[in-house]
């Protein structure tokens, strides 16, 4: 191998490593979120989950920009997601609001909180497995079920909302958090449609510069008001799933009716008489 080809191969190998660096950073923040939750530092645990989500979004973007998408990267990303967006928020939710003391007024069953946290983790694992299996046949513009980073993000946003008043220590509402965890778990394994960042119809833009300016202002507002802005935005995204699903189902029904109306008379009869 000539020196020129060797340098090109080394450069190409470095490009392939780049997306996996962001994936590893996502795993790193997820791991530190678990450590923070065990230590009772739930605000920091939530921030680490959000930082992990940023890295998770960057790894896919970098892979597509550098044309370095690989099956290894897909599998590695899913394994890291299970830790950062499955185990980390489940552990955070348990130690924060689902301990036996937090649920004592609701039920004497002292392991209920642990069971609910495990349901979130299991549904997240099922969500990731379904995503990997059907990634080649699904519509890339929509997610089937709530994405697991979205579920983890809502959990982190709930913690930040809880700490939005500086210096004021509030006791989290255990039953309400338990209901939220169960809803998020159900949405992750549901068949509801959620808009993907790859949706060309939604994100198609004729004025990219103006949109960039608006997005910068929105991002700045969210960062400035991170304790109180993320949870309402998260609930809006959760509610968008049922709405989008109903709109898409109605559109498919109308297209089906139009197709039936355009079918020539007798075609259905011929089809019924055809041998099976």
> What is the pLDDT at residue 18?
80
- Whether residue 242 contacts residue 178, with contact meaning beta carbons closer than 8 Å, is answered with no
> What is the pLDDT at residue 275?
41
Query: Which residue stretches of the chain have pLDDT < 50?
Result: 4-8, 10-11, 265-276
> What is the pLDDT at residue 249?
87
> What is the pLDDT at residue 137?
66
To 10 degrees, the CA torsion angle through 40, 44, 50, 52? Answer: -80
- Domain covering 13-257: architecture: Up-down Bundle (1.20)
> What is the pLDDT at residue 40?
93
CA dist list (Å): 164 to 100, 152, 177, 249: 25, 18, 16, 39
> What is the pLDDT at residue 139?
66
> What is the pLDDT at residue 28?
97
- Whether residue 27 contacts residue 84, with contact meaning beta carbons closer than 8 Å, is answered with yes
Annotated domain spans of the chain: 13-257
- With both helix axes pointing from N to C terminus, report the angle between 3-38 and 88-97 in degrees, rounded to the nearest 10: 10
Nearest CA-CA partner of 226 in 47, 36, 41? 47
> What is the pLDDT at residue 42?
94
> What is the pLDDT at residue 255?
81
> What is the pLDDT at residue 106?
74
> Cα separation of 117 and 121, whole Å?
6
What lies within 8 Å, CB to CB, of 65 at 6+ separation is none
> What is the pLDDT at residue 276?
38
Nearest CA-CA partner of 96 in 148, 164, 39? 39
Only one residue has tokens 């979205």, namely: 150
């Amino acid at each position: 191998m000539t020196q020129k080809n060797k340098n090109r191969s080394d450069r190409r190998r470095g490009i392939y490593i780049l997306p996996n660096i962001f994936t590893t950073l996502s795993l790193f923040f997820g791991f530190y979120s678990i450590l923070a939750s065990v230590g009772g530092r739930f605000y920091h645990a939530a921030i680490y989950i959000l930082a992990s989500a940023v890295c998770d979004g960057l790894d896919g973007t970098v892979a597509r920009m550098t044309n370095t998408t690989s099956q290894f990267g897909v599998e590695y990303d899913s394994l890291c997601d299970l830790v950062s967006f499955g185990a980390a928020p489940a552990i955070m939710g348990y130690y924060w609001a689902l301990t036996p003391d937090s649920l004592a007024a609701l039920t004497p069953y002292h392991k209920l909180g642990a069971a609910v946290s495990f349901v979130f983790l299991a549904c997240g694992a099922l969500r990731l497995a379904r995503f990997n299996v059907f990634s080649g046949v699904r519509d890339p513009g929509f997610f089937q079920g709530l994405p697991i980073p979205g579920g983890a993000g809502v959990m982190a946003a709930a913690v930040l909302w809880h700490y939005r008043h500086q210096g004021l220590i509030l006791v989290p509402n255990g039953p309400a958090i338990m209901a939220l965890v169960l809803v998020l778990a159900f949405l992750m394994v549901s068949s509801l449609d959620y808009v993907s960042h790859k949706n060309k119809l939604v994100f198609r833009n004729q004025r990219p510069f103006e949109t960039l300016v608006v997005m910068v202002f929105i991002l700045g507002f969210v960062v400035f008001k991170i304790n109180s802005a993320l949870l309402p935005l998260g609930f809006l995204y959760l509610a968008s799933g049922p709405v989008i699903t109903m709109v898409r189902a109605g559109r498919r029904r109308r297209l089906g009716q139009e197709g039936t109306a355009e079918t020539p008379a007798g075609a259905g009869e011929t089809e019924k008489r055809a041998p099976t």
